[in-house]
Amino acid sequence: MKRLLALLLALCGATAFSLAPDQIRNLKADRHSAASAAWLRGIWKKAAGTTLRLLPEGEDSAKNTIYLGEAALKSSLVSEKELAQVPPEGFVLKIRGDAVGIASRTPEGILCGAGRLGELLGFRANGNSFFPPRRVPENLEECTIFDSPAFFYRNGANPLTGQVGMLLLGDPRRGADPELFGKKSDLWIDHTAGYLVPKLKYYDRNPEYYALLKDGKRISKNAFSDHRTPLCLSNPDVARIALERAREWVRLNPDKKFFFLTYGDTTVWCECPECGKLDDAGGRHAGRLLHWVNAIAGPLGKEFPGRIFLTFAYSGTETAPEGIRPAGNVAVVVASSLGNRPFFAHELKQNTLESMLKILDGWIAKNPGRVLVCEYIGGAYQPAFVSQTADRYRFLRKRGVGGIAFHYGNPANFPKLWTYLHGKLLWNPDQDAMKLMEEYAPRVYGDAASAVTAYLKLADAQYRKTLASGKRLKDGYPPDFYTAEFVEKACGLLSGAIARAGNSGKIAEELTREKYLFLTDAMRHLADYRDEKLVAFVLNEGNRCAKRLKKENEFARSNDLVLRELEKTLPPERSAALKKLFGHVTGAVPERSGDTLRFPVTMWSGQDYGPREYGPKQDPLSPPKLCSGVFTKARGGRITSSAEMSLLFDLPESDAGRGGVLHLEGQDAVTKNASAQHLRNKETTMMRITLNDAVIYEGVCGFAVHNWSGREFGIPPGVLRRENNRLVIRNAGYARGAFVYCWILICDASIRFDAPPEKGK
């Protein structure tokens, strides 16, 4: 049996014995349970006020003791027969009237069993930390729990939810030659080519270890960073060196189970003929990647059984190769777009995920039981995240996915609730997701929790209702989701939650933000914009939230963007009516000095960065300045040129129609690890500037890279008007990887008017 659902057996029925937590005095652990012992001692001190004494080798105490691992078997608390009932990743937790035993075939299983004991004490996960018990139970009832996880890799670092992936992941900066990767290195745990064949160690003598470019020249040493190292994967010395360094890495980290063997985070691939021979047609590079990864993982599997080596299907290696399979100890991590779909089940039903599922299924067929996904959901708004998350995780398990390697952030709404739900469903996606929320919400929202869960249930019901209606999605949303009835009920519940939180303080502000996010999203996807009562309701409620959060300008500008999109499709009379409802939209008053208008950085809206200071923390070469910025955004796991920021302003009648010059001070921040190679590889930052829909510039960004510089652009007469002037800077570049290279940062913007014509001329 692959896994067992949680099974709780009361040993003595109505006459069950119990164990008081404050009676426990000792802890007995073997060397494989050291991490579990340390974690348990920490939470036991917080729960019972007792510092558990670690029993040394040779000393046993049959009573008032927690036994971990082999110690639990030797004490006969847990039998071999009982342990045989769970898979290796699972655990047996037994509470007896005078002792506790936790056993597993793996150290991580013991740690997860310790986490379950922590939950019985009343602890609950809070990210990678925890909420302490509201009330420590006087007694732990006698029981035996058999349990095991649905997914073999569960990202995170919290035993309470069984998320131990990060705790078991080898950090290459703690491998061989750590001095090569100091503060200036961008090496992290995921893209490890820079550790396996570090340029500081090998490039000067052997540049042939690194990618050959299309022009026949070897990539230069300064053209890539550790994180973005591009290798010649067909070179046998590259495989030999990577194997030696990986062997040392694993040897130095005996407590780690997972290690990344991955290419650099780059779209630069070696163009030499030997690498090309390893590829499938059409620039598909997964064949050469697996050729290299297998040459490392295969030998290491014999030396270090039980270790799993992870590699990416991403940015050139998305599609499974035809002629080679991953080694048995290799897990392939597919860059998935499934996590940022707000209506996952709807898209699945309407067959709009076929291209992504084809990639996923291709790898599952090549590597059954050893495929993970990465999900890019940071900042996405998910109006019914409980249903969406539960549906997706059940689907992934049923499809044969082994877990989530990274999710890169969390949804914009209810992040703490989502993070907890994510962890619990990774362990067992068949759990009642809404019941989990009902149990957990009081830890986050206190007296407001009942209203919050009522809102979540309402959103869940609307999600299911629109799933049943089957209407075709529009921009990823069911057209019948944000109906008048649903919006009004949802706002009432959120208002009730804010009131129960006391209308002031941190929780009330957080819930006001949730209501604001809901209304902003609703305005973008209303079921019927002809319903003036509904539009007015959303505007009025949104303005109240925006005023409290000091986001009036942001809300007004967001609505202006909605109106501009609607004007493209609605009849003129309908657009006019909506424009009247929306009212006059403008921003902060620009600063004026003579014939120059200066726009504070805080006037920009829609930006991806800022307004905040950018400087040495992000880039040692850049003097610190307050700025706002935009970068190319990922949509569906790929990069598209979709990012823009704007500012709105009015002018005195005397300035309307005047020509002038737009002055911008900014920089092309291609991240601190950008290189000339990125710029040669069609990853140049492109910029499009419009003023009242007139294009005043379109082309290369043109600012200095990693430093501030100025540019000026002419404004023809007749473009500026009296009201609602809209200046837009769009990042029109295209970066082919799934991470951002190209930023546009603006720290100063001003318009200098042309001198008025002299009288009589």
| Residue 673: per-residue pLDDT | 47
CA 482 to chain centre: 26
Across the chain, which distance is largest between two alpha carbons, in Å?
A: 107
Last residue of a domain, one of 302, 336, 370: 336
- H-helix or E-strand containing 675? none
Does 660 share its domain with 682?
yes
Q: At residue 308, what are phi and psi to the nearest 5 degrees? A: -120, 130
Asked which of 237-241, 372-376, 418-422, 423-427 is least confident by mean pLDDT, the reply is 372-376
Average pLDDT of the segment spanning 729-742: 63
For residue range 228-281, list pLDDT tens digits in order: 999 999 999 999 999 999 999 999 999 999 999 999 998 899 999 999 999 998
Question: Contact 717/672 with Cβ under 8 angstroms?
Answer: no
Average pLDDT of the segment spanning 370-397: 94
| Residue 581: per-residue pLDDT | 78
Average pLDDT of the segment spanning 743-748: 91
> What's the whole-model pTM score?
0.83
| Residue 6: per-residue pLDDT | 43
Does 578 share its domain with 596?
no
Domain count, the chain: 4
In the 8-state DSSP scheme, what is residue 280? B
Neighbours of 652 (CB within 10 A): 8
pLDDT tier, 148 (very low <50, low <70, confident <90, very high otherwise): very high
Comparison of pLDDT for 278 and 641, the residue scoring more = 278
Asked which of 114-128, 175-189, 503-517, 604-618 is least confident by mean pLDDT, the reply is 604-618
CA distances from 324 to 269, 279, 300, 336, 565 (A): 19, 10, 19, 22, 48
Does 299 share its domain with 225?
yes
In the 8-state DSSP scheme, what is residue 745? E
CA distances from 734 to 669, 672, 686, 727 (A): 15, 18, 8, 22
Average pLDDT of the segment spanning 349-353: 95
CA 596 to chain centre: 42
- pLDDT of residue 140 exceeding 50: yes
Does 535 share its domain with 643?
no
CA–CA distance, 446 with 681 (Å, rounded to integer): 52
Does 648 share its domain with 697?
yes
CA–CA distance, 149 with 162 (Å, rounded to integer): 8
Strands 596-599 vs 709-715: parallel, antiparallel or unpaired: unpaired
Neighbours of 215 (CB within 10 A): 7
Residue 475 lies inside a defined structural domain of this protein: no
Average pLDDT of the segment spanning 312-340: 93
| Residue 17: per-residue pLDDT | 60
Average pLDDT of the segment spanning 716-732: 89
Compute the mean pLDDT over every residue in the chain, rounded to the nearest whole number. Answer: 89
Residue 451 lies inside a defined structural domain of this protein: no
Question: Contact 227/741 with Cβ under 8 angstroms?
Answer: no
| Residue 298: per-residue pLDDT | 97
DSSP collapsed to 3 states, 555-615: HHHHHHHHHHHHCCCCCHHHHHHHHHHHCCCCCCCCEEECCEEEECHHHCECCCEEEEEEC
Taking CA 431 as the corner, what is the angle to CA 425 and CA 432, rounded to the nearest 5 degrees? 115
- With a CB cutoff of 8 Å and minimum separation 6, the contacts of 174 are 252, 253
- pLDDT of residue 47 exceeding 60: yes
Residue 427 lies inside a defined structural domain of this protein: no
For residue range 542-556, list pLDDT tens digits in order: 989 998 998 887 787
CA–CA distance, 433 with 422 (Å, rounded to integer): 10
- pLDDT of residue 592 exceeding 90: no
Query: Which residue bears the tokens 């131990």?
Result: 164
Strands 143-147 vs 743-753: parallel, antiparallel or unpaired: unpaired
| Residue 550: per-residue pLDDT | 86
Question: Contact 405/336 with Cβ under 8 angstroms?
Answer: no
Comparison of pLDDT for 122 and 1, the residue scoring more = 122
Average pLDDT of the segment spanning 17-45: 91
Q: At what angle do helices 415-427 and 385-399 cross, to 10 degrees?
A: 30
Does 625 share its domain with 571?
no
- pLDDT of residue 514 exceeding 90: yes
CA distances from 528 to 391, 478, 482, 566, 584 (A): 28, 12, 8, 12, 22
- pLDDT of residue 494 exceeding 90: yes
CA distances from 705 to 76, 667, 684, 697, 737 (A): 66, 6, 11, 19, 19
**DSSP notation for 531-545:** -HHHHHHHHHHHHHH
Query: Which residue bears the tokens 């600012």?
Result: 703
| Residue 728: per-residue pLDDT | 92
| Residue 649: per-residue pLDDT | 85
* Tokens of residue 40, six digits: 């348990």
- With a CB cutoff of 8 Å and minimum separation 6, the contacts of 453 are 434, 437, 438, 441
| Residue 589: per-residue pLDDT | 63
- pLDDT of residue 13 exceeding 60: no
Does 41 share its domain with 80?
yes
Does 597 share its domain with 735?
yes
CA distances from 576 to 63, 320, 440, 565, 637 (A): 80, 53, 47, 13, 38
| Long-range contacts of residues 684-688, Cβ cutoff 8 Å, at least 24 apart | 684/733, 684/742, 685/731, 685/733, 685/742, 685/743, 685/744, 686/641, 686/731, 686/732, 686/733, 686/734, 686/742, 687/729, 687/730, 687/731, 687/732, 687/733, 687/744, 688/728, 688/729, 688/730, 688/732
| Residue 467: per-residue pLDDT | 97
Question: Taking Cα atoms as reference points, which of 375, 280, 283 lies closest to residue 334?
Answer: 375
What residues form DSSP beta bridges with 95? 100, 143
Question: Contact 409/160 with Cβ under 8 angstroms?
Answer: no
CA 167 to chain centre: 18
Q: What is the CATH number of the domain that holds 65?
A: 3.30.379.10
Asked which of 188-192, 462-466, 608-612 is least confident by mean pLDDT, the reply is 608-612
Does 211 share its domain with 179?
yes
For residue range 177-216, list pLDDT tens digits in order: 999 998 789 999 999 999 999 999 999 999 999 999 999 9
Last residue of a domain, one of 305, 336, 367: 336
For residue range 570-584, list pLDDT tens digits in order: 778 777 778 777 765
Asked which of 11-20, 95-104, 338-347, 473-482 is least confident by mean pLDDT, the reply is 11-20
pLDDT tier, 759 (very low <50, low <70, confident <90, very high otherwise): low
CA torsion, points 360, 366, 372, 377, in degrees to nearest 10?
Answer: -20
Comparison of pLDDT for 704 and 689, the residue scoring more = 689
Residue 722 lies inside a defined structural domain of this protein: yes
- pLDDT of residue 53 exceeding 70: yes
SS3 139: coil
Residue 207 lies inside a defined structural domain of this protein: yes
Residue 396 lies inside a defined structural domain of this protein: no
Query: Which residue bears the tokens 């164990």?
Result: 19
CA 575 to chain centre: 37
Does 187 share its domain with 44?
no
- pLDDT of residue 365 exceeding 60: yes
SS3 620: coil
Q: What percent of the chain has pLDDT over 70?
A: 91
CA-based radius of gyration for the chain: 29
SS3 666: strand
Does 141 share its domain with 178?
no
CA distances from 303 to 264, 291, 307, 752 (A): 26, 19, 10, 70
The length of the chain in residues reads 761
Residue 554 lies inside a defined structural domain of this protein: yes
| Residue 674: per-residue pLDDT | 46
Asked which of 4-13, 74-83, 240-249 is least confident by mean pLDDT, the reply is 4-13
Asked which of 166-180, 379-393, 488-502, 595-609 is least confident by mean pLDDT, the reply is 595-609
Comparison of pLDDT for 589 and 295, the residue scoring more = 295
Residue 476 lies inside a defined structural domain of this protein: no
- pLDDT of residue 517 exceeding 60: yes
Last residue of a domain, one of 336, 360, 393: 336
| Residue 4: per-residue pLDDT | 43
pLDDT tier, 593 (very low <50, low <70, confident <90, very high otherwise): confident
Does 634 share its domain with 680?
yes
| Residue 58: per-residue pLDDT | 79
- pLDDT of residue 389 exceeding 70: yes
| Residue 415: per-residue pLDDT | 96
Q: Strands of 371-375's sheet, edge to edge?
A: 153-154, 403-406, 371-375, 330-336, 308-313, 258-260
- With a CB cutoff of 8 Å and minimum separation 6, the contacts of 472 are 350, 479
Domain of 660, in residue numbers: 591-753
